[in-house]
Structure 1
Amino acid sequence: MQPTERSGAGPLGVTGLAFLQVLLFVPVIVVFVLVVVCSVLTVVWIGVLLLMAVLPLGRLIADAHRSMAARVVGEPVPAPYLPLPKGPLARLRASALDPATWRDLLWMLWAMTAGFVISLLLVLLAIAVVTLPLWWYAAVPLMRARTWVDCALLSPGRTDHLERRVQVLTESRAVVVDHSAAELRRIERDLHDGPQARLAAVSLSLGLADDLFETDPDAARRLINEARGTSSTALGELRDVVRGIHPPVLADRGLPGAVAALAIDMAVPVDLAIDLTVRLPAPVESAVYFTVAECLANATKHAAAGHAWIRLAHDGGVLRGEVGDNGRGGADPRTGSGLNGIAARLAAFDGTMSLSSPTGGPTVVSWEVPCTPSG
């Protein structure tokens, strides 16, 4: 990541940032020295305890400089840290083994030496009247030079990006496998409790009818009629199971038509804004269809919404969607409202989901799925 012209940070703006960097010079030195000393003292427990406090403090200082660098480059500077586990000792171990922690220390060395000199020089040029013309022309290039190094050390490198990508794919694959296993169990349960039981009843009724056909034809006909009705019910339940795997409406009308059908079946008004003129891969359409269906179901069952909306658009190789409602809000994936299932479905296609549901509403579920038209 390099500084760009989009930031709009002029001489006054970058001088203010340089002044903040000079003020943070002492905290950077203190944290760096404490990390080094505490690392030596880890042979005794006092060093471990101090590191638990010092390492998070170092990350806070690094995050502050990332925010300042973002002002210069005109876009966020992501933190490269790996997720921390639960438990103080586990968190300390993960932080110590995280390559980003050691890159922070390398950045502190830079910030205490050449980086500090650049920031201090920029401030001094702004203070002295005689150097104001030089400051006016040199302020932005000096800050860009420092920011370039800051971004190189504080943002994820290519290796960090690949490692995080592998971790995300590994986790999403595990979630998808678990979700697929749960779906198979659900299908097995639905078949066992519904069509299988009814087909067994049909077989039993036909067997009894065969036994009674010679002695009591009327009773045999009644049993055959009952078997016919039971078989019709079983056929309907089989259609429901198939519809839960891949709705036929998707094949007939595509994703826009299928989503519109969901909206029509809702008990509350639903606004549609669909900009989708191409057919997408069938698995993606199916995942998005069930995502919309789950969100709408949550809107009526849990949120007591009186109004909902659906937005779908495909642009730049990404399918973006949003389902919102004006219900009570407070949706939480941990309550088993199906949001985890949505995330699992989308993760199978490298998709992401975000949730905004403050208490009192509105609830908005949005997602992005990279995909190309199927033809």
Structure 2
Amino acid sequence: MMASTKIGYFIFSYVAIGFPDIIILLGCLQGIVVSAVLFFHPKGIYATRLLSVLTLIFALACLNLYLLETDSGNHSLFIQVAWSVIPLLFVMPVGPLILFYIKALNDPDFRLTRKHLKHFYPLVIDLVPSFVMMMYWLSYAAVISKLDEASAGNFVYLWNKYADIPRWISTTGYTIMAMQLVRDRGAQIGYKSWARQFVYVFIAFEIIWLGHLIPYLIPGVSDWLLGVLGWYPVYIPMVFMVYWLGVNGLLTRQVVARSTSVKIDNTVVANVIEKLESAMVNDQLYLNPTLNVSELARHINQSSKVVSAVINQQLGKSYNEFVNQYRIEEVKKRLLSNTDSHLTISGIALECGFNSQATFQRVLKQMTGQAPTEFLSAKSR
């Protein structure tokens, strides 16, 4: 016990940690642990994995600030090089991750694919400082330094300062899009109250960030702001967000979009089921890859709430399961008839209403227990 006390005293006195720095450090450690738990949670859904990445980004940002405020990154040349070269601050992916997390709650079949990569291209803005410092250290090691440390450090400082403008705009823009999705009455979001809180908390955080960012960008005010308050007004709320995200993320388990119990007259139920079957079998609405509950409800002249309740409670399925069963049957029918022999099975799936090859493969596996290649092999026998 004495040994651990002495070690703890040595660490805290060596780096001269203040109380806010302790909070930031605990937020970092907590975020890393929570991120790992969320990512590997056996009952987690895809959405929780996106949330784990978001939490890890916040944890690394807290670590970056801790190293900066306590000057811990300059205690040895090795730590100094590692800290300046290994990127810890990733802000540009935050906005897309917020939006895609809400989309994953809305659609259990949602997955990030190549078409989503363009949303993460601006990540290069976050990587520029590390690249500049890497060039500096390489030239330093080769003793051909054309870029002195002061110039490199000043460039990184100014880059990060003004890069906060597109960072804030990106994060806020994507959060607004996520809020619009949450407010969409046709959206089938699991834990909708949590999704609404999630978006509103990020809006509040972005307002706090903006309140700090504006004076930070004003010459003459910036140095005073950082000297008096530092980045604590932004990062202390972030620490509490890490804890809040972790707790709620762990509570968000396997989500299937189901309506709350709604009492509907048996006659209405029978009528809605009949119209739903007609919309699928006769009108083939499932061929529309963007079909949602609100569009389906308008087609049969019913409210989204009633349609969701009938599908969930009477048919015992989620909206996606209900529509995808018709799409799978259509794929089977076209494969057996050989009318689309010029198309691949993925091409046929896209024509049958699936919005991506990955979604089709996953749904086919869930409903038939077979991958596309296995299904084709069984068909050819």
TM surpasses 0.5: no
Which structure carries more relative contact order (alpha carbon 8 Å, separation 6+)? Answer: 2
Bigger Rg over Cα:
1
Report the TM-score when normalising by structure 2: 0.25
Higher strand residue share: 1
Higher helix residue share: 2
Report the TM-score when normalising by structure 1: 0.25
